Structure 1
Amino acid sequence: TVEHEELHAGVGTLTARDWFEVDPASSTPACPFSTGVLANILGRVAGQDVAVMV
């Protein structure tokens, strides 16, 4: 399940608590593959670099 929240104009969050990359035992879950894919796709759509952070 992926949830989207708009924090501010141009700033949003995606939350995926049951994502395939998330290690439930980790105190700081990370999704390095998905972060890279999203940065590439969103950057191509925007026509410029975008920041995607974990």
Structure 2
Amino acid sequence: MEQAKAVLSASEQSPLHAYIVLSMLIGARTEELRALTWDHVDLDGARKGNPPPPRSI
């Protein structure tokens, strides 16, 4: 936890801060995130599912 706090603190002024936060929050490796495009992002989820799947990457 201390390392995570240090990385977040050190990256606050960096343009990569959101990228670092995202990778830490969802547990994705940075090389996995770099390959993503907007086609991989589902902002709506499947509302008709039972139970409906959440939004996802």
The TM-score normalised by the length of structure 1 is 0.27
Give the number of the structure whose residues are more often helix, by fraction. Answer: 2
Q: Using structure 2 for the length normalisation, give the TM-score.
A: 0.26
Q: Higher relative contact order by CA 8 Å / sep ≥ 6: 1 or 2?
A: 1
Higher-Rg structure is 2
More strand by share: 1
